[in-house]
Amino acid sequence: MKILILKYRSQYIQSIMKYEKHHLDQITSIFPDSQIVVIDSIPEEINKHLPDTDILIMSPLDHIQLVDFSKTKQLKWIHQTAAGTVPLVEKLKGTSIILTNSSGVHPIPIAEQIFTFILMLSRQFHRSYRNQIESKKWIQNDIDGNLLELYQSTIGIVGFGRIGKRVAKIAKAFDMRVLTLSSERSPETDPNVDVYFSRNEVESLLKESDFVVDCLPSTTKTDGYFNQHSFEQMKSSAFFINIGRGSTVIEKDLITALKNKVIAGAGLDVFSKEPLDSESELWNLKNVILTPHYAGWTPRYIDRVINIFCDNLKAYIKQDKMPNFVPVNEE
């Protein structure tokens, strides 16, 4: 059985997300008869190898435009190296190709980035750093009255999947109060959650939170989830963190809320349009920290992708249910 692995196109990403020999050895320890081929993301190379490939490991963002699915004569399974699957699902509709994702690869680095945002904003590091770079002046009165302690503050997590659960765990190390939304009301469901609100009680979560963390995926139900009304429900001293998807926020409403100090500030890793337009007002807002959608990057990324792939490979060989199976033909 031939397993084709496509390298990332960006040389920089390759430098931190590189397939090493020990990754291939990990696969062959499970499936000794497999032929593993790792290639650069060059269309000619991909097209040469696709016809006799059985399993394809690829990035949904880097590779989807490079793979000609009409050439996949015997492809049985695609494992994608990220969690979000919408582009590939659309490509695979009507086929019998199995799709699995790498859900579970991101919680540790993304949760750490969330707390980087939270700590910088709560201690006003973003303002001090601007002063250091721009004016080189000793300015103590530029904190705008928004210095916070995480101790006994409240964090509201919207989107309580693997990332949300990791955030809750870290929050408890800071003695924070943790709120989230769920259809379940029992705090015993997760020991790190103090209060579960039902989904129609989101306003209560927003009103009580000092930090609101958007961990939502991109779906038709979450598009524009955070809007003017949402920000108006938040405390004026509260901070908004988005590491979910840019589509979950009405960006112009967020900009208005930040400019008018409806909320105190924001830490943003994702945007409605990426790359973020150079004309966006977000670049110049002093109460905002921006990062270019790299919260999930980590030197351990490929280690985790291969661990997840191998868990699914074991199930595939046994014809058991694959833990990261993504349905592609369901309405």
Where among 273, 290, 307 does a domain terminate?
A: 290
Give residue 301's domain range.
2-105+297-318
pLDDT digits (tens, 9 = 90+) for 185-243: 454 589 999 999 999 999 999 999 999 999 999 888 999 999 999 999 999 999 999 99
Catalytic residue IDs: 245, 274, 293
pLDDT digits (tens, 9 = 90+) for 12-30: 888 889 999 999 999 999 9
Within a domain: 328? no
Q: Give CA separation, 125 vs 121, 252, 288, in Å.
A: 6, 25, 11
242 three-class SS: strand
How far apart are alpha carbons 319 and 13 in whole angstroms? 34
Within a domain: 178? yes
How far apart are alpha carbons 146 and 238 in whole angstroms? 9
Report residue 125's pLDDT band, with 50, 70 and 90 as the boundaries: very high
Q: Do both 82 and 185 map to the same domain?
A: no
Output phi, psi for 165, to 5 deg.
-65, -40
Q: Check residue 277 and report its DSSP letter.
A: P
Output phi, psi for 66, to 5 deg.
-95, -20
Bigger pLDDT: 306 or 143?
A: 306
pLDDT at 275 over 90: yes
pLDDT of residue 12: 83
pLDDT of residue 64: 86
User: What's the number of domains the chain is made of?
Assistant: 2
Integer distance in angstroms from the first to the last C-alpha of the chain?
31
pLDDT of residue 188: 58
pLDDT digits (tens, 9 = 90+) for 153-164: 999 999 999 999
Within a domain: 154? yes
Q: Do both 197 and 111 map to the same domain?
A: yes
Within a domain: 329? no
Are the C-beta atoms of 111 and 314 separated by less than 8 Å?
A: no
pLDDT of residue 245: 94
239: β partners: 211, 265
**The pairing of beta strand 195-197 with beta strand 177-181:** parallel
What is the CATH number for 309?
3.40.50.720
pLDDT of residue 184: 52
How far apart are alpha carbons 97 and 328 in whole angstroms? 9
pLDDT of residue 185: 47
Q: Do both 151 and 266 map to the same domain?
A: yes
pLDDT at 327 over 50: yes
Q: Do both 99 and 120 map to the same domain?
A: no
Q: What residues have CB less than 8 Å from 61, skipping those under 6 apart?
A: 82, 87
Q: Do both 114 and 256 map to the same domain?
A: yes
Q: Do both 117 and 207 map to the same domain?
A: yes
Within a domain: 98? yes
Within a domain: 324? no
63-72, 83-92, 243-252: which is most confident: 243-252
Residue from 251, 230, 239 nearest 126 by CA: 239
Radius of gyration of the chain (CA): 22
Are the C-beta atoms of 292 and 267 separated by less than 8 Å?
A: no
How far apart are alpha carbons 99 and 210 in whole angstroms? 39
Q: Do both 307 and 277 map to the same domain?
A: no
Average pLDDT value over all residues in the chain: 93
pLDDT of residue 144: 59
Count Cα atoms within 13 angstroms, Cβ side, for 199.
Answer: 9
Q: Do both 87 and 142 map to the same domain?
A: no
45 three-class SS: helix
Report residue 83's pLDDT band, with 50, 70 and 90 as the boundaries: confident
Are the C-beta atoms of 211 and 156 separated by less than 8 Å?
A: yes
Q: Give CA separation, 293 vs 243, 273, 329, in Å.
A: 8, 11, 30
Phi-psi region of 310 (alpha: psi -120 to 50; beta: other; left: phi over 0): alpha
Mean pLDDT across the stretch 256-267? 97
In the chain, the DSSP E strands lie at: 2-6, 35-39, 55-58, 77-80, 98-100, 154-158, 177-181, 195-197, 211-214, 239-242, 265-268, 288-290
Q: Do both 77 and 191 map to the same domain?
A: no
Give the position of tokens 């101790």. Answer: 151
Give the chain's largest Cα–Cα span.
67
How far apart are alpha carbons 107 and 293 in whole angstroms? 15
Within a domain: 330? no
Q: Do both 170 and 88 map to the same domain?
A: no
pLDDT digits (tens, 9 = 90+) for 281-303: 999 999 999 999 999 999 999 99
Within a domain: 277? yes
Q: Do both 217 and 190 map to the same domain?
A: yes
Q: Do both 57 and 16 map to the same domain?
A: yes
